[in-house]
Structure formats: structure tokens, C-alpha cells
Structure 1
Amino acid sequence: MTPAYKFPIGIQNFRDIRRNGYIYVDKTGYIRRLVDTGKYYFLSRPRRFGKSLLMSTIEAYFKGCKELFEGLEIATYEKEWKEYPVFHLDLSGENYNDIPTLTKVLNYFLSEIEKNYGLSEDGHTVALRFKNAIKGVYDKTGRQVVILVDEYDTPLTQTLTSPELQEEFRNMLKGFYGVMKSMDGYIKLAMLTGVTRFSKVSIFSDLNNLRDISFLPEYNAICGVAESEIVSYFTPAISSFADKRNIPVSAMAEELRRNYDGYRFADPAECEGIYNPFSLLNALASESIGDYWFETGTPTFLVRLLQKKNYPLDRLNKAEASQDELKGLDLAMAGIIPLMYQSGYLTIRDFDRQFGLYTLGFPNKEVERGFLNFLFPYYTSIRNGNGTFAIREFTRDISNGNVDSFMHRLQSLFADFPYDQIRETELHFHNVLYLVFTLLGYYTRTEYRSSRGRADLIVKTDSRIFIFEFKLDKSPREAIEQIDRMGYALPFYSEGKEIIKIGVNFSSTLRNIDSWIVEKYD
């Protein structure tokens, strides 16, 4: 543990953080910008990325809690500290399995407002009660109302596989959220946050005046920890971590960057990388690198969708999508890339301004390693979470130069796999190879290629270089001849290591590797 620093792990209340001496990365300048430049906002960010803390901070600001903001950026601008009535609805933390549950949550929210401001229950529907509460509070206080809706989309994301129930939720929330537009004169500011903005559906049709700041470079770092903020807030903690590991501070900072940095929510040319705050704080608090964020979620739905759509896994790290696709989610289309982006498993890597296309990929090692490990039992015969064990054995084989054992182990991944789940045998073959050799790359130097003109796979150890070429329904001899003919080994002669070439054939009839040849260069 790092005893000198208090990290707000799991604490989403701004008041608690400020009063109890936890580290707070100052985001208050963004609040001032929101107030000065608009009135209605929407922000999407992945889970555990600081959305709830942002909403809590906005609430404290509008409640006039001046003492909590001492020393923060907004205190240099704000002079009046007016207090406004704040309606804060948090839809997370509930299992929305039917309409009565959502109705109960909304009614409780409205009842608390009515109780706090001495209003009577007025309205036969939640939408009408909401409307009357806004006007009633304005009439009581003489101040416009601030409305904050945190995780607005929880009922919808929980029912991705239940379209009929989701449609009922949409209809109810459409009327509820739509109240805000009709009550514009009574509202000071309204902000909704969530994981996704559902597109081509009715939920936002009555609230079409929301400004979506999710992709704006100036709001890229409104949640999470920016690269520049690492130095300002966490240098002492990183130094302590480095001392424990007996490595230079620069090396420790680089390891944290590789594991937790890399998120971008706008054109990378216009914004800096963002660290996942949940994983970063956990790693610094425990002084241990771990898959903290990944382990808090189970992307089973995404994996099933990848399989259903027969998606080539090697494209995940070079996927393309337009901003319109990433902005919203049309469940009739059920695009896997927008879902993975909004869920935090992919992030923006590049932006083609001419065509308005983003290139996406895994943000960092934690997410890539965790996601591919999670995929492993869904694409191979390995079960019961033994993927890491299997990769360890692959690594031992290749490190010891035991190619035959390595290949037998690779064969076993295809054996006894339920092929009724696979529509394209060749794609499945390549997906398994991609998983094995990408995960192997965390322990050896591995390059898995799918483009022409290069060897399919290069694996380097301290003493050997392995060149793999794979064929489908041909012969391993043809693969060896291609390695020689194309001169795949030439770039490695100067390294002075033993070079081993492996030709492999995959049989679509057997649905497995049927033969291989191993030869050493003289």
C-alpha cells in the first residue's frame, strides 16, 4: 500500500472526496465552460470512467458549496456562488427487469423532490409529475432548476437482448425526458450521461435540443485522467511505486501508460490520451499492475455478437466507423464496433477528416489482454478459464524450441470444438491463430500478419527466430517453399540467432491442422 496518499477508489461523491482529503483531479474548469456556453448537454463515456463524480461535482457547484471548491480552478472565476435547486436522478444500481421497477425508481425520485420542497403529488404519470415538480420548485424558490440524469440509459442497455421490454422502457423514458424541452424556461441547466446515445429511436425525439459533447476535443478529458494530469497529481505515488519495484520512475510511468492510458474520445491529432481512472487509482493504491477495470465487467454479450456476426478478430485493432455510427446505437443494426467503443473496449486511434472515418483499436494492454483472454474459451476447446495456462504452455514450448509440442498443443485447440457454432471454418482457423499469437506476444516478441508479402507469423525468443507460414487445404511443403521463395528469413540473418521455418497446413475437411514441416536454416 501507499500510505501517504488517499485514492478515491469507488468514491463518486465530490463532497466526500474534498472533505476527507482524497486526491481530486480538478475538472471544475469544464463545469464553468458548460455553464458559460450552453444549457442542455449529453455526455457518453464507458463505465467506471468518472461520470458520476462529474455529476456530483456539478451538483455541489449549483448548490453553492463554495468551501468544497477552494483551491480549484472554478474558484478563480466564480464570485456569486448562487444556489439553485438540483434534481439528481441516478438510474444505475437497479435491475430493470420490468416496467414496474422503472416506474418505482422514477416515482421515488419524484417523491423525494416533492417531500423536500413541500409539494403535493400532482400528476397521473411520471412525466406529468416531473413537469409539475419542475414548475412547483421554480415557483417555491424563484430559481431555475438544474436537472442531472446519471446513467440515463441503464434500463436500455440492460435489455439489449429483450427488444419488447426495451421498447416499453423507451416509450416511458421518451415522455419523461421530453418534459425538459417543454419546461425550458424553468431550467438553468440539464445534463444526461450514459454509455451510449441510442439513435434512430424515439427516446431523444422529444429532447432534440441536447448538445452532444462526447466527441468534442475540448471535452476529451472531462472524465478520466489526462496524460498531463498524471504529472500534476500522481508523480509522488508513481515514485513510491517505482521504489517498491526497484525500477526508474520513468519505467514505472511507462508501464502504467501501456496498461491504462490510450483512451481518446476525439481526433487524436487534437487531444491527449486519457487514462482509465479506475484502473490507474487501483494500481497506484495497491502498487500492483492488474486488470482492475476489465475484471469489473463481463463482455459476454459482445463476444456472442462477434460470433454471431462472424467477425474477423484481427480487425478489432484496425476497425473503422463513422462518427454517426459511434455516436448512437441502432439496435436494429446492432453494430459490434459502436458497441465495443461505447463499452470502452475500443477507442479512437486515428481520424480521416476527408471521409469522416475513425480508426479504432484496443486502448491499452489491460483491455486487449483481458478481452482476448476472455474470448479464448469461446473460440477454442479450452474451457473453465484455462486460457492463461494454455498460453503459458505455448510460451514454454516456443522458448525451449519444442516446435512439435507447440503444434500438437495448437491442434488440441481445434479438437472437440462444437463446429455447429461456426459458419466459416477458414475464418475460425484464423481467429484462433490470432488469439493464440497475439496473447503469446505478451510473453515473446510476436508479429502476426494477415497481409500479403510477409510471413504469416514471426516469433522471436532470446536464441531463436521462428517463421510460420500457414496454408489451407494445400501442403506444408508449399508453405516452406513460400518462405524460401519470398525470402522471409533475410531480414533476420544479421541477428545471429537460429532461424527455424515451420510450414503448416489446415484441413477444412478435418477442421484442424493435419500436418506440418519444421526445417532449420543452415
Structure 2
Amino acid sequence: MEIQQLKRCPVGIQTFSEIIENNYVYVDKTEYVYRLTHSDAKYFFLSRPRRFGKSLLTSTLRCYFEGRRDLFKGLAIDRLETEWAESPVLHFDMSLAKHVDKDTLESMLGFQLSQYEKIYGKSDGANKLNDRLTSLIIRVNELTGLKVVVLIDEYDAPLLDVMHEERDLPVLRNVMRNFYSPLKACDPYLRFVFLTGITKFSQLSIFSELNNISNISMDDPYAAICGITEKEMLEHLDGYIERLAEKLGLPHDEAVRKLKERYDGYHFTWPSPDIYNPFSLLNAFSKNKIDNYWFGSGTPTYLIEMLRKYDVTPQEIGQRETLASAFDAPTERLLNITPLLYQSGYITIKDKDEETGLYILDIPNAEIRTGLMESLLPNYLASRTEQGMTLVAKMYRAILRNNIDNALTLMQQFLLTVPYCDNTDYEGHYQQLFYVIFTLFGMYVDVEVRTPRGRVDIVMRAGGKLYVIEMKLNRSAADAISQIDLKDYPSRFALCGLPIAKVGINFDSGKRTITDWKIEQC
């Protein structure tokens, strides 16, 4: 079919005025802007993962408060707002201050202040950052006769990459605390304060002093304030789906299913509409190709460091149950990695048990699952990642062709590429490695699966088959098969509707690879 002429997708464009003025496609979020700016509170905080639309939302708020009504013509807020009262806006973008030391951070904050001081002037006695911000807010109010709007985007960006460091975190945190401290004292001069970020640093003055700040991150009315819901995708972006479906040679509904599987699945409260990752979705439409765009844009180093710090194995990242107070905890008081995984977008809310108040958290979608495993694989391969990834791809091909024997031969070669490391003389090390590799394939993989008579080491679904895998260390594949038979593991999966294969694998801790394996069809 003939595809209609489509607007350009605003990939990487975070400025609302640029999107509207240059006729990029825009998913209308202005009803949320109206709701936010007409609520009872004055101070707001919103946490969302990186590249999830926080900066665009902040830019939209700026245009709204500057009274640029022409930009909002035809959007939801155009029929809701009647006053369009202008306010002076101080907009600070902290994403510019990543990977910096104390002096550079102070210099960058000073530079952002100086841009407004050129417009409104600077008090002679204000030299420190907090004094300059206090003076600036008061001066703007006096010169304009209007209360001031303060927008701070990515407030925590300078701290994210040092959150695992005991030396640098307190130093940079003190700089940021001093910078933000005037917001409470300047309350009489402020109309609206909005901050975005990924994590919550409770020891910053924002959360320790602004006790009246409204954290809307998990509020039902703002569940879809960032990201793209399926309804919005079908309403605003259906032409792109048609174009992608034609490129892939798929029916429309099948293209939607593939997009949903790869990019959907986020929930920031419960119940909540399904929310797609906007960065990945728009990239997929722009490039007319489904790929791992969000993960490809960079995995934060702090995530890998924190996984090591909390000794989290790959299979432990998802499938978590916790109370809201636990997974939304401040960064400095983390007892486990759940809050960081949630706030960063690597796990999300999947359900809630109303009886206990427990939230069920898991990895959102296929992009995050495969991206995580790809990021973790170098921990096992060190400098040989490229060679290892090639073997992983060949294993995938073999399994898709139902040649598990060839796949295990490749696995044997793969393990020989893994450099020597400590703690490889236990079965769990190889179980973790199997989980990472098989998850990279995008296949269903689960570990320690309960049955009436015990736990199966690994269950994998691939190539139209279900594999029940038992692993042994320094024993034999025959012993592994015997345990499968003794415990009658396959009966647990008899109703799955797939052919079942039993796989027994033995690892040799001295050789650090598979020494033998046995495959039997049920």
C-alpha cells in the first residue's frame, strides 16, 4: 500500500520549540503540563530513566511559562488554558555537568548562572554559587515584578557516575547541595519549581530541606507524562508503523507485536498504561528498523559498578518483589540494588499484590534484557568480547536449527576464550554464564525452576523446543541426566505443548570448560 508522507521523527531533539517550529512529529503531552501547572503544589520532582523525555517535558514547561502560545496551537493545552500568564524562567540543564571534578562542576554551574546575570545583572556581594542563585532569583523578581519559575533538568547528572565512590560522591554532593539550597529560602519569590532526575539523593537540600516538594514520579495522574503509550503510538505514529510493516514484510498487527515486545512494558505506578521507550521507538521509526537503540546509546558505568558492589548475578536482576518504600529509596541509603535498577529503567513495575502491597518488578522488554546481558558479557570475556560474541551468534544459529549438540560444541570453544578468573570452581558461575549467553539470543531462559521434586538448573525455550538442562561440576553428563530422570523434571512441563529435550552437561573446573554432555529426547 502507498504510505502517506510522514513528518520527521525528532530523534535526539529535546527542545519543544524546535520540534514545533520545524514540523517534527510531536506526541502531545501538554494536557499533563496543564495539570501540573494548575495543581495545588509549587515544588515538583519527576524521576524517569535517561532518554525518556524529561528534557523535552522541561523545555515544554519553559515555553508554556514564557507565554509562547503560538507553539501550542492545536495541542491539548490550547483548549484548556485561558490565561497564559507569563513568568520569567531560570532553566538549568545539569546534563552538561557529567564526568566532572569539583572545580569543573563549580565552573559549569557558574557559567549557567552568568548567562542569566548578563540579562538581569549581578549583585556585587554574591560570589558563592548559592549566594549568586539567591541574588539572581530576588533580582529577577524585583526587576520584572513577577514570581520566578525555576526548572532544573537532570538535577543528579553530576553525581550518577560517582555514586559508587566513597571519595568523590561527598565532594560533588556538597557542591550540588550548596547550589540548590536557596530554593527553600527564596520561596516568596518563586511561582513554580520543577526538577527532573533519575535517582533520589536524599542528602541534597532538595529532599532534606524542601519537605513540601511533591514527588510525582509514582502518581497515577502522571503515569504517562513521559514515554509513549500504545494508544498514543497508534494515534500519532500509525503511519510509521505502516511504513515499518511494509519494510519488514509483515502485517500491521505483527509489526505492532514486534515493537511491543522490544520497546514496551514500562509502568511507573500500578495500574498504569503500557509505556514504550520513546527514544527507541522514535529511532525505530526514523531508521525504519527495529534495533536496540536505547541500550546502544550507552550503558551507564555506574550500573555495572553497582551490580558488582551488591554482588548481583545476571539472573537476579529481574523478578523482584518489594514494597514501594524500598524500591523508591534514596540513593545514599540503599540496602540493595532494587531502587537503582528501577529508577534507571532496567526493571519496572509489572504487577501489584493488593493484599500485601508488594510490587512485582521485572525487566521491561527484550531490548533491556538483551542489552543488559550484552553489557555483562565483557565481565566474563575481558578483552576477548568480540571473539566471544561471534561464537554466541553461531550458537544462536545452531539452536534455532535444533542442533543443540553443535551449540554445545561451540559453547565448549566459547568457554576456552574466557580468561582465567577467580571463583569459577562452583556450579553457579557456569549457570550465570549460560543465563547471560542464552538471554542474549532473545530466548526464554529461566534458572532454578521449581518442580514438585526439586529445582531444574536451567529451562530454555528455543527453536520450537523446551530444553530441561541440568549441570554438574567435575562429575559427568550421565550424572546430570540421571538427576533429571530421578526427579522427573520433564513432567513439570508436560503441558507446555512443545517437544522436550533433556540435556546433561558436565564442567571441568580445572579445564574451565565443558568436558562432556548428553542429550535425550523425552
1:107–1:118 CA distance, 2 compared to 1 (3 A): same
Residue 145 of structure 2: which of 142, 163, 188 is its match?
142
1:426–1:519 CA distance, 2 compared to 1 (3 A): closer
- The 8 Å contact of residues 174 and 204 in structure 1, kept in 2 or not, is answered as no
- The DSSP-based 3-state class of the residue aligned with 1:113 is helix
How far, CA to CA, are the matches of 2:349 and 2:64 in structure 1? 32
Which residue identity does 1:264 align to in structure 2? Answer: H
1:90–1:338 CA distance, 2 compared to 1 (3 A): same
Deviations 1:444-489 (A, max 9, x none): xx54341232654455666866443223454432322233344445
Q: Structure 1 stretches of 5 or more lacking a match?
A: none
Displacement of 1:13: 1.0
Alignment of 1:345-360 (within 5 A): 345-360=346-361
Displacement of 1:374: 2.0
Displacement of 1:201: 5.8
How far, CA to CA, are the matches of 1:378 and 1:249 in structure 2? 40
392-401 or 71-80, larger mean C-alpha shift: 392-401
How far, CA to CA, are the matches of 1:92 and 1:379 in structure 2? 32
Displacement of 1:46: 0.9
1:494–1:305 CA distance, 2 compared to 1 (3 A): closer
Question: Which residue does the alignment assign to 2:227?
Answer: 224
123-132 or 417-426, larger mean C-alpha shift: 417-426
- The 8 Å contact of residues 302 and 336 in structure 1, kept in 2 or not, is answered as no
1:125–1:200 CA distance, 2 compared to 1 (3 A): closer
How far, CA to CA, are the matches of 1:195 and 1:15 in structure 2? 24
Displacement of 1:90: 0.6
Displacement of 1:382: 7.8
- Number of paired residues? 515
Question: Which residue does the alignment assign to 1:103?
Answer: 106
How far, CA to CA, are the matches of 1:128 and 1:495 in structure 2? 69
Please say if 1:398 is aligned against 2:389.
Answer: no
How far, CA to CA, are the matches of 1:510 and 1:70 in structure 2? 69
Displacement of 1:155: 1.2
- The 8 Å contact of residues 241 and 287 in structure 1, kept in 2 or not, is answered as yes
TM-score, scaled relative to structure 2: 0.90
Question: Which residue does the alignment assign to 1:266?
Answer: 269
Which residue identity does 2:226 align to in structure 1? Answer: C
Question: Which residue does the alignment assign to 2:287?
Answer: 286
How far, CA to CA, are the matches of 2:16 and 2:464 in structure 1? 54
Which residue identity does 1:351 align to in structure 2? Answer: K
- The 8 Å contact of residues 50 and 277 in structure 1, kept in 2 or not, is answered as yes
1:386–1:323 CA distance, 2 compared to 1 (3 A): farther
- The 8 Å contact of residues 373 and 439 in structure 1, kept in 2 or not, is answered as yes
Displacement of 1:279: 0.8
Displacement of 1:243: 1.9
Which residue identity does 2:109 align to in structure 1? Answer: L
Displacement of 1:108: 2.0
Deviations 1:401-442 (A, max 9, x none): 554443333234444645544387332121012112223354
- The 8 Å contact of residues 45 and 195 in structure 1, kept in 2 or not, is answered as yes
1:334–1:416 CA distance, 2 compared to 1 (3 A): farther
Alignment of 1:180-259 (within 5 A): 180-199=183-202, 204-259=207-262
How far, CA to CA, are the matches of 1:143 and 1:201 in structure 2? 28
Which residue identity does 1:130 align to in structure 2? Answer: L
- The DSSP-based 3-state class of the residue aligned with 1:317 is coil
Please say if 1:370 is aligned against 2:395.
Answer: no
Q: Structure 2 stretches of 5 or more lacking a match?
A: none
Which residue identity does 2:412 align to in structure 1? Answer: Q
Question: Which residue does the alignment assign to 2:450?
Answer: 452
Deviations 1:163-199 (A, max 9, x none): 3332122222223212111111111000111111113
- The 8 Å contact of residues 503 and 517 in structure 1, kept in 2 or not, is answered as yes
How far, CA to CA, are the matches of 2:189 and 2:497 in structure 1? 72
TM-score, scaled relative to structure 1: 0.90
Please say if 1:123 is aligned against 2:121.
Answer: no
Question: Which residue does the alignment assign to 2:60?
Answer: 57
